[in-house]
Structure 1
Amino acid sequence: MKASISFIVLFFTHLAIAQTATIKGTVKNEEGNPIEGVSVTYKTQGTITDSKGNYELKIPSNLEITVTFSHISYTTITKKVNIPKNRNLYFSPKLITKIEEIKTVTIRDKKDDAEGIDKVPIETVKKLPSANAGIESTLKNIGLGVSGTNELSTQYNVRGGNYDENLVYVNGIEVYRPFLVRSGQQEGLSFVNPNLTQNVKFSAGGFQAKYGDKLSSVLDITYRKPRQFGIGFEASILGGSLTVEGISKNNKLSAIIGARYRNNSLFVNQKDIETNFKPNFTDVQTYVSYHFNERFNLDFLGNFSLNNYKYTPISRLTKFGTISDPKALVVNYRGKEEDQYLTIFGALKGTYLVNDNLKLELTSSTYNTQEEEYYDILAFYGIGNVNSDFGSDNFGDVEFSQAIGSQLDHARNDLDALITNIQLKATLKKDKYLFEFGAKYQLEDIKDRIIEWEVIDSAGFSLRPPNLLPRNDEPYNPYTGPIVPFSSTRATNNVQINRVSGFGQWSKTTYIKDHQLWFNLGVRAQNWKVKADNIESKEHTVISPRAQFAIKPDWKKDILFRISGGYYYQPPFYRELRDSIGIVHPEVKAQRSIHLVLGNDHSFLLWNRPFKLVTEAYYKSLSDVNPFTVDNVQIRYRAKNNATAYAVGFDARINGEFVEGTESYFSFGYLKTEENINNQGYIARPTDQRLKFAVLFQDYVPNYPNLKMYLNMVYNTGVPGGSPSYANPYIFQNRLKDYFRSDIGISYVFKDAENTTNIKWLENFKEFSLGIELFNMFDVQNSITNTWVRDIASSQSVAIPNYLSGRVLNVKLKIGL
């Protein structure tokens, strides 16, 4: 009898164990940081999260139950689940800070929102499928006011500005990009290495005085200090990276080093140009920190980058026109292009805590870029009709190709730029006030040799520049004068620019009753002097006042309102001083932009999960504008302050757990920006990107949460397509077609911080995942610029779109030790 009872007890015990399921995940706060000590309970059963925010709880299967997540500093949330037996459900909630209990913590957590600073989740950056994966690509997708229509470029436009108008900082040190890069194919790697990054902050306008003198935006990157030894490795068809980090036994010295390699030939081979393409992009970075004592810390940031770009075009076939009148450009090439971009960067930063209220920072950095751009390319081109007869065996073939002419492009360009600076910053806390001051001296020494010319032949006649007299009227009358290049630039410039800048700002957080208020007032100033050989020196000074205000009302809803603005100047860099024929103009003044930004942040719970809605309306009035043209990623300035402009728009983004345990983003933007050159009237600027829709969606298979999906989708309306050389831009106001791109990535995570495994060969790995990525999965033909084909017989210039990459498949492996 006793044996029977024991058997029955054991049977039902086994049955009860077999009829269980598991819910597990990681609990994080609003900033995306893990929370330790969160109580995860079901009735009388429960567990708590560990130091990494991880939890795992056994619950009854095939039964709807309620799991509660609670912590003394955060709001409690509940989750109803019904999980089949022996299955796992991955659920990672985000807990909201309790406003009524810890006001000081809330103010600190909301400080970035009050300042109009966007925090970009670094884990999302690492997982986002993109042709040129990195922080900048993520910004194009989820950043307010950010747009970009070249997947091979890390450059981006912000609210009507161009690539040169964006500030980039790494650990408080401003970084730069090469000068001569003309194409996204040549860029290779961004300066910022996501594998070394801890925090990403971004402001699309109305930013504080402590940030530098640019017109559009600030990207503020913080590299992490290692806490333990680790190795990370990534490999794909496009390249790979290796990251090694560690800390000394006494915890004083920490170092992290990252090496990257990339090859874009896979994308170029998908284009409409047949080439022999041999790119080689290599980058090595290190961040070393030594903690002398509780008051003094010394940091070093170093970077070495080498881009070798070898390009031999063979032929091109680009179809364009309409369905009823399809056309094709047929080109045969001779010659090649060989470019090299070598950059070296080093910065040393000392931080000294005088006391609990005063911090001093002294930073010195040096940036050197050595760039070579050599090419001789001869092109024979013609335009033909495309067979549009669906019943024909030759449907889609090019027929009746008419030879239009030929073109010879030549360049021998060399540039050597050395930028050195030293900067002192002070931060003083006094009661509710925060004072920040800074002063900086910078010397820019640039040696530039430009030799470029272009000879164009059409219908057997050499084309002369339209602005050169006497004009030829071929083919009706022969021209017997010498052959003159259609365009020619030949110059040697030795330029030194001395800059002295400084800022001071005051911030305060306070309460009126239970309404939280945040203020910031600041001013920047810069003086610079341009010296060049055989050119009269010029000296300029600008002063830039800025202000921000935010209020978080004591409402049941978590809503914050903010307003910011001020005067923003962009003192000209070397590229802005040089005109189209290579002459440097020291008299060029700083462009000025008056910002006004109105913003609103609303955090709320939907489906018992955290969400956030961010909206911003803005207006920018620009004066002393230096007009420019954009060709791929090359910007050419007129080196004249002969225009005024404006930009107005609205941006909105909602992000949250549309799928439980994942973060997804949906964003929308409207922009209108126009310029008035020499009082001819307002026309669209080259960056007039009217509408933007973007989606970053994350998902996983419920019964197999380790199988994850990432979708990156962007739609932008077309920008102005530019105009031929010497042409009046007021005549050429056509637009490129709309830009649409969708990338998808699917990966299986065998092991990471949130997922453990019993597979023995994975015991020594901290992370192991394998995935595939499909770029441009709908194979949409997007274009970045136009090639203008000139026909002397018809006296017309035909715009031929330059298409970007097509559909590309990539395989990716990620390992962490």
Structure 2
Amino acid sequence: MAIVSQTATVGGVILDENNLPVENVNIFSETGSSQSNKNGFYEIRIPANSVSRITFSHISFKKIEVSITLQEGEYYELNPVMTVNVEQIGEVIIGTNKRKQVAGIQTISPEEIRLIPGANAGVENILKSLPGVNSNNELSTQYAVRGGNYDENLVYVNEIEVYRPFLIRSGQQEGLSFINSNLVQNIDFSAGGFQAKYGDKLSSVLDITYKQPVDFGVGVDLSLLGANAFAETVSGNGKFSTISGIRYRDNSLLVNSKQTETNFNPVFADAQTYITYKFSGKFHLNFLGNLSVNDYDYEPLTRQTNFGTITNPVALVIFYEGKEKDKYTTAFGAFKANYFLNDNITLKLIGSAYHTTEEEHFDILAQYGLGEVNSNIGDENLGQVQFIEGIGSQLTHARNDLDALIFNLEHKGIVEKNENIYEWGIKFTHEDIRDRLREYEVIDSAGFSIRPPFPEFQNDQPYTPFEGPLEPFTHISATNFVKINRISGYAQWSKKTFWKNNEIWLNAGVRAHQWIVTGRNINDNSQIVFSPRAQIAIKPDWKNDMLFRVSGGLYYQPPFYRELRDSTGTVNPEVKAQKSVHLVAGNDYSFKLWNRPFKLITEAYYKYLSDVNPYTLENVRIRYRAKNNAKAYAYGLDMRLNGEFVPGTQSWLSFGYLKTQENIDDRGYISRPTDQRLKFALLFQDYVPNIPNLKMQLNLVYNTGLPGGSPNYADPYLFQSRLKDYKRADVGIIYVLKDKHHSSSSSNWLNKFEELNIGFEIFNIFDVQNAITNTWVRDAYTKTQFGIPNYMTSRVFNVKLGMKF
């Protein structure tokens, strides 16, 4: 079997004392060499996971030597300054992943993200393969971490916090994640116990770093699900660089594979750019901009879902009238200024603005029949409904509009001195929300309008006529104008030291957050919280390469607008911050297996939550009670084994166990909506030994069922139904015609490309029917309710083409 070596990349620009690029600098490592171009740019590949010495030499300057350790696939920017009067750099070991490993942060290669197949490929797709991260919706980019919900995850791009739309209620409406995978350089993820410098959320941190281009490049990716293109540019002196991308996605291929026949015309598109200008070696200015449009037109036509048992098959047949038209338009812009006062002090200033306008408009009439299915094998009417037991209809209506404007202004600072790192930050946020909710649902069964499912409307409908006034089954009408001003800040200290021959890392910090809620027809309310956090890690002086970590603290999540709004649309400004005590204990064990590197990461965690704001979860829509009337806990074990199961490729196996329950109004503990007990995932890569350019990626996920099978209006203490287990396998096969590792003869047409590959994917290989929610219908014949599963996508085939110039 051919072995492809693990490599990482070091690149940047070489300058002289006057900040001018130096041409023809010779760069050497143990495994290769390179030379800087006329703009001073260079790039060299080195072996991963080992110390490599890089030498920069030029006849007119002093030689520079640097030792560096990088992970497989990692890119590290190194910009040396060559002088005639400075001695060479000594034995400086640069290990960029060490601090992240100590802090319990998992680093993921961007190359893996671009390869791993998935119905919604991208950063979030690969996160869902990690232990402790769960999602039962392949059409959604949302994920839950260790018992939290989708609103409890922080996302940063180059230290700038990003947001997602408010009104999305199903995965097929989402379209595109904010994160453009083609622009990504580094991905760091922490599932809990994170440091004080990260913001005020309860569950996780996703920290994305976009690229700093060192040369011109253009790339295009095409598939049946859409297209995207990106461009990297850099000026002649290396001071000005840009990386930009445009994306278009069409979910109709996936939605048409579902059980409902539809007319579906989605337009999901965005444009994004990251611009850097280096005024000098001390001052850099960056701009991150994004414009996104999700235009969702959906017209359901018919649906038939067969369920029940082999001996008693039942079918739900639905005929639809009406349509849904949603539109989500978001614009985001941020400036980030870095001032490098000296080698030890860095000062940063970040300002950002986020604006979203969202429309959710629909009128859909669903008329259904519930009946027995013909199960006689060989009958020409096999599978058709032959006897109707129940009929009914449902009319849903919504005219929901939201306009949100969010401003942020933040200062950060870092001082490094004698193995001590001091970090601080202060941030002001202004949120201006204008929200109108108008929605209702009318249910009719056997000719009778069903009354709302609340005690004041109890009757024996549809079996006994009711002569009172008609009331919709559910009804929400509210108009809210809310402003929230926030001031938050943090200070933390980190230190590396030794105890005997054992390496020790320490971190301690505290966050503070004050917010004031104001608005029309609500009472102003101000609150403040403090969040102390700490971490300790030790690397014993053992023969085995092991690292032990313990982290924890008191974590708060001050309420965002959605958490202030209850299920009737009313805003409660007195909602407190949800509070969670975290305790995380972890171990990293690096070892050799089959003479290849492997790592086993294990974390056990416990979280006790108070002032909990209960919620219901339907598909991806979260509706809060806007009360702090519950307490909860979560504990579990996460394990991940990654390494070269096949030489030259990275694969990993994940296992997670979670239990999370809540106690609402002291009625006793029940499962929370994200109580996903068991999780197994496998990401496996392989290639044909005699054709190493023919590669395969396999993505397997198994999750036990979520407690989301009950109606969203039901009392959770009376209805703890779970969905079936989630099982999914996606496979991708790709043939690499050209990449950085393979050169071609000068006359070969492939020389026009830097990278070129073609492949195909099979989503849901085994065509497993996974349910995301249930539709509840009444049967007048048996006087019972049936929960009919709403299935996700079936088996789908996709082809794709990727190229870079």
Quick check: TM above 0.5? Answer: yes
Question: Which residue among 765, 768, 772 is the counterpart of 2:753?
Answer: 765
Residue 252 (str. 1) matches residue 239 (str. 2): yes
Q: Summarize deviations over 1:258-310 as a string: whole Å, max 9, x none.
A: 00000000011111101000011001000000000011000000000000000
Question: Which residue among 622, 634, 638 is the counterpart of 1:651?
Answer: 638
2:7 corresponding residue in structure 1 = 28
Cα gap change, 1:149 to 1:437, in 2 (>3 Å):
same
Q: CA deviation at 1:324?
A: 2.4
Q: CA deviation at 1:801?
A: 0.7
- Kindly provide the amino acid, as one letter, of the partner of residue 733 in structure 1: Q
Q: CA deviation at 1:491?
A: 0.6
| Alpha-carbon separation, structure 1, partners of 2:709 and 2:804 | 47
Question: Which residue among 588, 598, 609 is the counterpart of 2:596?
Answer: 609
Name the TM-score, length of structure 2 as normaliser.
0.90
Residue 155 (str. 1) matches residue 142 (str. 2): yes
Q: Conserved in 2, the CA contact under 8 Å of 1:630 and 1:722?
A: no
Question: Which residue among 493, 498, 521 is the counterpart of 1:506?
Answer: 493
Q: Conserved in 2, the CA contact under 8 Å of 1:627 and 1:641?
A: yes
Q: Summarize deviations over 1:482-522 as a string: whole Å, max 9, x none.
A: 21111100111000001000000000001122211000000
| Residue correspondence of structure 1 range 694-705 to structure 2 within 5 A | 694-705=681-692
1:123 corresponding residue in structure 2 = 111
| Alpha-carbon separation, structure 2, partners of 1:648 and 1:701 | 42
2:790 corresponding residue in structure 1 = 802
SS at match of 1:535: coil
Q: Summarize deviations over 1:461-493 as a string: whole Å, max 9, x none.
A: 111113263533334543222211111001110
1:779 corresponding residue in structure 2 = 767
| Alpha-carbon separation, structure 1, partners of 2:193 and 2:431 | 27
2:326 corresponding residue in structure 1 = 339
2:102 corresponding residue in structure 1 = 114
2:83 corresponding residue in structure 1 = none
2:450 corresponding residue in structure 1 = 463
Q: Conserved in 2, the CA contact under 8 Å of 1:38 and 1:70?
A: no
1:811 corresponding residue in structure 2 = 799
Q: Conserved in 2, the CA contact under 8 Å of 1:549 and 1:563?
A: yes
Cα gap change, 1:501 to 1:753, in 2 (>3 Å):
same
1:450 corresponding residue in structure 2 = 437
| Residue correspondence of structure 1 range 579-618 to structure 2 within 5 A | 579-618=566-605
Cα gap change, 1:702 to 1:31, in 2 (>3 Å):
farther
| Alpha-carbon separation, structure 2, partners of 1:270 and 1:470 | 40
Cα gap change, 1:253 to 1:104, in 2 (>3 Å):
closer
- Kindly provide the amino acid, as one letter, of the partner of residue 427 in structure 2: K
- Kindly provide the amino acid, as one letter, of the partner of residue 421 in structure 2: L
Q: Conserved in 1, the CA contact under 8 Å of 2:397 and 2:439?
A: yes
| Alpha-carbon separation, structure 2, partners of 1:129 and 1:117 | 24
Q: Conserved in 2, the CA contact under 8 Å of 1:706 and 1:755?
A: no
Question: Which residue among 467, 473, 477 is the counterpart of 1:480?
Answer: 467
- Kindly provide the amino acid, as one letter, of the partner of residue 323 in structure 1: I
| Alpha-carbon separation, structure 1, partners of 2:802 and 2:516 | 49
Question: Which residue among 178, 181, 188 is the counterpart of 1:194?
Answer: 181
Question: Which residue among 556, 559, 574 is the counterpart of 2:546?
Answer: 559
- Kindly provide the amino acid, as one letter, of the partner of residue 673 in structure 1: T
Cα gap change, 1:606 to 1:367, in 2 (>3 Å):
same
- Kindly provide the amino acid, as one letter, of the partner of residue 479 in structure 1: F
1:279 corresponding residue in structure 2 = 266
1:291 corresponding residue in structure 2 = 278
Cα gap change, 1:72 to 1:571, in 2 (>3 Å):
closer
Question: Which residue among 338, 345, 349 is the counterpart of 2:336?
Answer: 349
Q: Conserved in 1, the CA contact under 8 Å of 2:389 and 2:779?
A: no
SS at match of 1:364: strand
1:322 corresponding residue in structure 2 = 309
Q: CA deviation at 1:721?
A: 2.2
1:85 corresponding residue in structure 2 = none
SS at match of 1:330: strand
Q: Conserved in 2, the CA contact under 8 Å of 1:610 and 1:657?
A: yes
| Alpha-carbon separation, structure 2, partners of 1:404 and 1:667 | 46
| Alpha-carbon separation, structure 2, partners of 1:69 and 1:710 | 21
SS at match of 1:138: helix
Residue 241 (str. 1) matches residue 220 (str. 2): no
Q: Summarize deviations over 1:217-265 as a string: whole Å, max 9, x none.
A: 0000000111010000000011010101110111110011100000000
Question: Which residue among 738, 760, 765 is the counterpart of 1:751?
Answer: 738
SS at match of 2:662: strand
SS at match of 2:752: coil
Cα gap change, 1:697 to 1:477, in 2 (>3 Å):
closer
| Alpha-carbon separation, structure 2, partners of 1:23 and 1:131 | 31
| Residue correspondence of structure 1 range 655-804 to structure 2 within 5 A | 655-758=642-745, 760-791=748-779, 796-804=784-792
Q: CA deviation at 1:790?
A: 3.5
Q: CA deviation at 1:39?
A: 4.6
Most deviating of 752-761 and 422-431: 752-761
When the two chains are superposed, the root-mean-square deviation of aligned CA atoms in Å is 2.4
SS at match of 2:563: helix
Q: Summarize deviations over 1:571-625 as a string: whole Å, max 9, x none.
A: 1100010011100000110101111000000111111111111000000101111
Question: Which residue among 415, 424, 427 is the counterpart of 1:440?
Answer: 427
2:154 corresponding residue in structure 1 = 167
- Kindly provide the amino acid, as one letter, of the partner of residue 503 in structure 2: Q
Most deviating of 374-383 and 755-764: 755-764
Identity %: 59
Q: Summarize deviations over 1:3-48 as a string: whole Å, max 9, x none.
A: xxxxxxxxxxxxxxxxxxx978454269999xx85656xxxxxx87
How many residues are treated as equivalent by the alignment?
A: 753
Q: Conserved in 1, the CA contact under 8 Å of 2:370 and 2:779?
A: no
Cα gap change, 1:389 to 1:95, in 2 (>3 Å):
closer
Q: CA deviation at 1:432?
A: 1.4
Q: Summarize deviations over 1:180-227 as a string: whole Å, max 9, x none.
A: 000100000000001000000000000000000000000000001110
Q: CA deviation at 1:387?
A: 2.2
1:17 corresponding residue in structure 2 = none
The structure with more radius of gyration? 1
Name the TM-score, length of structure 1 as normaliser.
0.89
| Alpha-carbon separation, structure 1, partners of 2:48 and 2:556 | 49
Question: Which residue among 584, 596, 609 is the counterpart of 1:622?
Answer: 609
Most deviating of 221-230 and 466-475: 466-475
- Kindly provide the amino acid, as one letter, of the partner of residue 7 in structure 2: K
Q: CA deviation at 1:108?
A: 5.2
Residue 428 (str. 1) matches residue 407 (str. 2): no
Cα gap change, 1:303 to 1:29, in 2 (>3 Å):
closer
2:562 corresponding residue in structure 1 = 575
Q: CA deviation at 1:793?
A: 6.6
Most deviating of 472-481 and 153-162: 472-481
Q: CA deviation at 1:394?
A: 3.0
SS at match of 1:706: strand
Most deviating of 323-332 and 788-797: 788-797
| Alpha-carbon separation, structure 2, partners of 1:545 and 1:513 | 29
Q: Conserved in 1, the CA contact under 8 Å of 2:9 and 2:44?
A: no
SS at match of 1:407: strand
Q: Conserved in 2, the CA contact under 8 Å of 1:234 and 1:815?
A: yes
Q: Flag structure 2 segments of 5+ consecutive residues without an equivalent.
A: 13-26, 36-41, 54-69, 75-89
Most deviating of 380-389 and 226-235: 380-389
Question: Which residue among 501, 514, 530 is the counterpart of 1:527?
Answer: 514
Cα gap change, 1:170 to 1:54, in 2 (>3 Å):
closer
Question: Which residue among 89, 105, 123 is the counterpart of 2:93?
Answer: 105
Q: Summarize deviations over 1:400-442 as a string: whole Å, max 9, x none.
A: 1234211110000000000001000111112111000000000
| Residue correspondence of structure 1 range 363-442 to structure 2 within 5 A | 363-442=350-429
| Alpha-carbon separation, structure 2, partners of 1:426 and 1:368 | 28
Cα gap change, 1:369 to 1:782, in 2 (>3 Å):
same
Q: Conserved in 1, the CA contact under 8 Å of 2:390 and 2:779?
A: no
